Amino acid sequence: VNLFESIDHIGIAVEDLDASIRLYEDRFGMPLQHRETVPAQGVEAVLLGVGESHVELLLPLSGDSPVGKFISKRGPGLHHTAYKCDDVEQALALCKERGLAVIDEQPRRGIRDSRVAFLHPSGTGGVLTELVQPAAH
């Protein structure tokens, strides 16, 4: 069974949010759709639209947040891939059943009132993987 409907977004760790917004919005022409500080994840995040999908820019709020640590180790750049699911609970349960290592045992609130859960990169070839169920509108 295919767990995912589509790629919801790719997450990019940035050191300079304004410069990154200028790149994606002004030079690539992607509309800025949402901006939100997500204290639980230690980031200020921006969503830009590309087709049905998004680019999610992530600025760490501190150096010892997960994204802050990622940048100090690996520098800014691609951080995670996020897949859209109908039912994040079910998708997460199936991932566990299939032996994938999870970071989140239960889905939690993500940006824009989505529900999200992360899989550990140790089980996914080094790619931090996010399952996303967008908020119903």
Biggest CA-to-CA distance, the chain: 44
Euclidean distance between CA atoms 135 and 37, whole angstroms: 17
Contact of 111 with 34, CB cutoff 8 Å: yes
Least distance from C-beta 80 to Co ion, angstroms?
6
Q: Which stretch binds Co ion (CB under 5 A): 16-24, 25-33, 55-63, 89-97?
A: 55-63
Q: Which of residues 118-137 bind Co ion (CB under 5 A)?
A: 130
Among the residue ranges 25-33, 56-64, 70-78, 90-98, the one whose residues contact Co ion (CB under 5 A): 56-64
Which of 67, 82, 91, 128 is close enough to bind Co ion by CB under 5 A?
A: 82
User: How many angstroms separate the CA atoms of 50 and 110, rounded?
Assistant: 19
Quick check: 67 binds Co ion (CB under 5 A)? no
